[in-house]
Amino acid sequence: MVQHYNIALLGATGSIGMQTLDIIRRMPERFTLVAAVAQSRWQELAAVAREFGARRVVIGDARYEQQLRDALADTDVEVLVGSEAIEYVASTDDVDMVVNALVGYAGLHPTLRAIESGKRIALANKETLVVAGDIVMAAARDKGIEILPIDSEHSAIKQCLEGEKRESVRNLIITCSGGSLRDVPRERLADVTPEEALQHPQWSMGAKITIDSATLVNKGFEVIEARWLFDMSPDNIKVVIHPQAIVHSMVEFKDGAVKAQLGNADMHTPISYALLYPDRALEANTPFSMLDYPMLTFSDVDREKYPALDIAYEVLRRGGTAPCIMNAANEVAVAAFLAKRCRLTDIVATIRYALDNATFVERPTIEDYDRVDAEVRTLAESYIGQLNY
Ligand code: NAD
Ligand code: MG
C-alpha cells in the first residue's frame, strides 16, 4: 500500500510551487491537490485549480478577488482571500500535508497553524525557521510532527543523517554556489544592478531568494535553518563555497568520515524527497553523471565581501528577536533594491541599522515576533528613505 497525501500548496505560482505541481502531476497515485494559494497571479491560480480539481483557492491580494471569482464562476472551487484564509486552508480536515512555498514572514503563521492541526509539513519557506525556529520546532515536537526540508542543502544533510546517531556527528557542512556575484569584485558590489544580481549561475529561483543568494544572506539563513532543523550548535555548522553546485551539502562525523549528497542542481529531487519521505519514487528529469563533472572545487567564503554570513552567525548566537530583525530588514531592503530604491550594499547596511535600533526581546512570544517584524519594517523603510539614492 503506498501512502497517498491530500496537499495544500501555499505559493502555487512560484518557483518551488510550480515544481511541486509538476511532481503532483506526475504522481497522481501519491498526491491530490486540495488547496492552492497565490499572492496575485489569479489567472495561473485559476488554471491550477481547474487542472488539478482543487477544492479551494486563496488569493493573498484582495485586489484580484473578483477576477479570480469570475474565472472560476462555472466551477465549484471555493474562492477565499487574505492571510487568515491561507492559515485556514493549511488546517482543514481534508488536508494531510502542507507544502509551504510562500516567501518571507508571510509563511510563519500558516506553518504554525499547519503544525497545530497535525499536518505533515514540507517546508521551503525557510524564513519560518529563521524568524521563529525556537517556537516552530517546539510546537512540532509537541505534536510529534517532523518538518521535512525542501531547501536542497537541508535535504542533503537529512539524507546524510539517515541511519546515523546524533552523537556521532561533528559538523554540518553547507555548500554554497557563491550566487550571481561570485566573480564580481567587492569594490563593484555597490554598482550592481538588479538585472545583474538576478542572473544566478546554477539555480532558477524566485527574485527574493536570488538576491539573498547574491548577498549570502540566504546562506546565513540556511545556517540558522540548520541550527533548528538538526538541533546543532552554530559552532558546528560550516559553510564552504562550491561553485559547481553538485555536492548539495555534507555531514562530517567524529570518526573522520564525511558523507555528501550529490546530484544535478534540480529542485525536483529535494522537493520530491520531502513529499515522499521515506520513499524515493520520482524518476529524475536528467540522470546524474559524475563524468560530466570531473572537477569539483571547494573554497572558503570571503567574509569581507559577504558580511551577511557573519551577521547571521551573530544573530543566531544573540538569539531572541535578533534573527527576526535581520529577516524583516532584509525583506524590506531586498524589495527596495529590486525597485531600484537602494544599492545592493545597502541591504547589509539596513540589516545593521535595524539590529542597532529595533526592540530586542530575549524570550519572544509569537506576538513579540509579529510586533518586532512590523516595527523593523517601518525602521528599515525610513532608513532606506533617507539614503538619497
Ligand atoms: P517565488 O517568489 O517564486 O514564489 C512565491 C510564491 O508564494 C508565489 O506563488 C506567490 O504568489 C506566493 N506568495 C508570496 N507571498 C505571499 C503572500 N503574502 N500571500 C500569498 N501568497 C504569497 O519564490 P520561491 O523561489 O518559490 O521561494 C519560495 C520559498 O522557498 C522561499 O522561502 C525561498 O527562500 C525558498 N526556497 C526556494 C528555492 C528555489 O529554488 N526557488 C530553493 C530553496 C528554498
Ligand atoms: Mg538552499
Cell numbers standing for residue 96: 494531510
Secondary structure of residue 282 in the 3-state scheme: coil
Residue nearest to atom 23 of ligand 1 (CA): 206
pLDDT given at position 203: 83
C-alpha of residue 132 to centroid of ligand 2, in Å: 18
Residue nearest to atom 4 of ligand 1 (CA): 14
Long-range contacts of 189-193 (CB under 8 A, 24+ apart): 189/305, 189/344, 189/345, 190/343, 190/344, 190/345, 191/343, 192/343, 192/344, 193/340
Which ligand ends up closest to the CA of 152? 2
Residue nearest to atom 18 of ligand 1 (CA): 106
Whole-Å CA distances, 19 to 61, 68, 193, 233, 374: 23, 22, 28, 32, 31
Secondary structure of residue 99 in the 3-state scheme: strand
| β pairing state of 147-149 and 31-38 | unpaired
Which ligand ends up closest to the CA of 89? 1
C-alpha of residue 253 to centroid of ligand 1, in Å: 33
- Which parts of the chain sit beneath pLDDT 70? none
Contacts of residue 272, defined as CB under 8 A and 6 or more positions apart, other chains included, come to 23, 280, 281, 282
pLDDT given at position 174: 99
CA distance 115 to 107: 13
pLDDT given at position 91: 98
CB burial readout 246-274, b (16+ within 10 A) else e = bbbbbbbeeeeeebbbebbbbbbbbbbbb
Give the number of other Cβ atoms within 10 Å of residue 30's Cβ: 19
Which ligand ends up closest to the CA of 12? 1
pLDDT given at position 57: 98
Which ligand ends up closest to the CA of 128? 1
Per-chain mean pLDDT for the chain = 97
Residue nearest to atom 16 of ligand 1 (CA): 39
Task: Judge contact between 332 and 383, C-beta under 8 A.
Answer: no
C-alpha of residue 44 to centroid of ligand 1, in Å: 15
What residues line ligand 1, using a CB cutoff of 6 Å?
A: 11-17, 37-39, 41, 60, 86, 101-103, 106, 124-127, 151, 203, 205-206, 209, 267
Q: Which atom of ligand 1 is nearest to the CA of 125?
A: 32
C-alpha of residue 291 to centroid of ligand 1, in Å: 33
